[in-house]
Amino acid sequence: MAEQNMTQPTSSDNGRPRVLRLTPQEIAILVCAAGLNLCFFAPWVSVGFDTAHAGYQLAREQGGWFYWLIPVLSIATLGTILLPRWRKWTGTAAALVSWLAVAHFVSK
């Protein structure tokens, strides 16, 4: 099934719930946002002698406040399930901040 149905009651439909259909692209954005949030907290970065660090540990150790924008923006993207205009912007911002954080981490 490529579409996901959600109901949202509206007053213009005589009390009947309106079905919200998400496009495959919108579903992909939401799945990527959830995956980004999961990867931030999962210990997957190997540094040195087989030690693994999670994104939140790197944010604490490196002292970069912008690392914390990654989970904030990914959760904000998930929160825009009923706001498609905001979903494009928060999803794009989450992707850009993630790439900038990776570039910052690699450059150190």
Q: What angle do CA 20, 74, 78 make, to 5 degrees?
A: 15
Hey, how many other C-beta atoms are within 10 angstroms of the C-beta on 16? 10
- Closest CA relative to residue 108, chosen from 60, 72, 58, 50: 58
pLDDT for the residue 2: 46
pTM of the model: 0.67
pLDDT for the residue 49: 56
Are 92 and 107 spatial neighbours (Cβ–Cβ below 8 Å)? no
Are 18 and 7 spatial neighbours (Cβ–Cβ below 8 Å)? yes
Task: Look up residue 63 and give its two tokens.
Answer: 């002292």
Q: Which residue has the tokens 């007053």?
A: 11
Are 31 and 25 spatial neighbours (Cβ–Cβ below 8 Å)? no
pLDDT in tens, 53-104: 677 777 777 666 778 888 888 999 888 888 888 888 888 898 898 888 878 7
18 pLDDT band, cuts 50/70/90, is confident
pLDDT for the residue 3: 46
DSSP type of residue 66:
G
Q: In which element (H, E) is residue 33 found? A: helix 24-41
Are 59 and 72 spatial neighbours (Cβ–Cβ below 8 Å)? no
Which of the pair, 72 or 107, is modelled with greater confidence? 72
